[in-house]
Amino acid sequence: QKEVEQDPGPLSVPEGAIVSLNCTYSNSAFQYFMWYRQYSRKGPELLMYTYSSGNKEDGRFTAQVDKSSKYISLFIRDSQPSDSATYLCAMSATQAGTALIFGKGTTLSVSS
């Protein structure tokens, strides 16, 4: 079993839809959880950063962490064509200086 599992998609939705992206993980020591957005041929951009369980909201984006289920989610409300990108979940067990474990990424396409 891989440490982090993420459905690669592709996921296609119409503009305005609510998008749900998910990752599961096996290492119960993970405490830091991140979501990155990567446009084609660009470096990943940090969208959300969460420590431990709970929800975090930033504009149209909401990140949820359920450590008991080893499951994290990213919700995108009122999706826009500009949200079309690959979304990567990432996590780590310890603080700064340690490498992140990435999911494979989910490719999202939002049509207008």
Partner 1 sequence: GAVVSQHPSWVICKSGTSVKIECRSLDFQATTMFWYRQFPKQSLMLMATSNEGSKATYEQGVEKDKFLINHASLTLSTLTVTSAHPEDSSFYICSATPGRGGNEQFFGPGTRLTVL
Q: Give the footprint of partner 1 on this chain (CB under 8 A).
A: 32, 34, 36, 41-46, 49, 51, 88, 90, 92, 94-100, 102-105
**CB closer to partner 1 out of 79 and 106:** 106
**CB closer to partner 1 out of 6 and 64:** 6
Residue in the block written with tokens 């603080």 = 95
Cα–Cα distances (Å) from 55 to 17, 58, 64, 91, in that order, read 20, 10, 4, 15
- CA 75, CA 19: separation in Å to the nearest integer? 5
**CB closer to partner 1 out of 68 and 95:** 95
